[in-house]
């Protein structure tokens, strides 16, 4: 179910695909999403990505990656923390710096999803 949106600039298509897969695997491992529930919009050529969070003591290079995940409410803080940590680990493994990865979650409800055929699959 989660809808993942990744925005970055100047990311080659192959790396973008691998990054999408890393985020998907992190959702499967940390939040228990089914392995074949893979649902993403990937953008490698946003006009501009700004990521200055200097007030937190985090300095980045120019390769900031914004990851936004929409998912139904109900996951615990511990699950969310495990997800962030898993994304960082898997991103590092494919050469994307964990300090460059920013993640935002947005929660909604079961009735807020239709996966095709005009049906609300979770509230039939």
Of 89 and 94, nearer to a copy of itself (C-beta) is: 89
Distance, in Å, from the CA atom of 26 to the CA atom of 37, rounded to the nearest integer, reads 12
Which residues, in sequence order, are CB contacts of 37 under 8 Å at separation 6+?
1, 2
| Cβ atoms of residues 88 and 97 within 8 Å | no
The candidate with the shortest Cα–Cα distance to 27, out of 100, 79, 97, is: 79
Question: Is residue 44 within the footprint of a copy of itself (CB under 8 A)?
Answer: yes
Window 10 to 39, contacts with a copy of itself (CB under 8 A): 13, 16-17, 20, 34-39
| Cβ atoms of residues 39 and 2 within 8 Å | yes
Question: Is residue 46 within the footprint of a copy of itself (CB under 8 A)?
Answer: yes
Question: Is residue 80 within the footprint of a copy of itself (CB under 8 A)?
Answer: yes
Residues binding a copy of itself (CB under 8 A): 3, 7, 13, 16-17, 20, 34-56, 58, 60, 66, 68, 70, 77, 80-81, 84-89, 98-109, 111-121, 123
């Amino acid at each position: 179910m989660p809808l993942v949106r990744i925005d970055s600039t100047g990311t080659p298509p192959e790396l973008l695909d691998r990054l999408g897969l890393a985020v998907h695997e992190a959702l499967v491992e940390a939040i228990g999403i089914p392995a074949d529930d893979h649902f993403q919009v990937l953008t490698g050529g946003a006009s501009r990505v700004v990521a200055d969070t200097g007030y937190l003591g985090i300095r980045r290079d120019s390769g900031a990656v914004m990851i936004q995940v929409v998912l139904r409410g109900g996951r615990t803080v511990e699950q969310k923390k495990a997800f962030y940590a898993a994304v960082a680990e898997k991103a590092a493994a494919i050469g994307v710096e964990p300090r460059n990865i920013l993640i935002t979650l947005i929660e909604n409800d079961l009735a807020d999803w239709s996966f095709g055929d005009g049906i609300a699959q979770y509230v039939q």
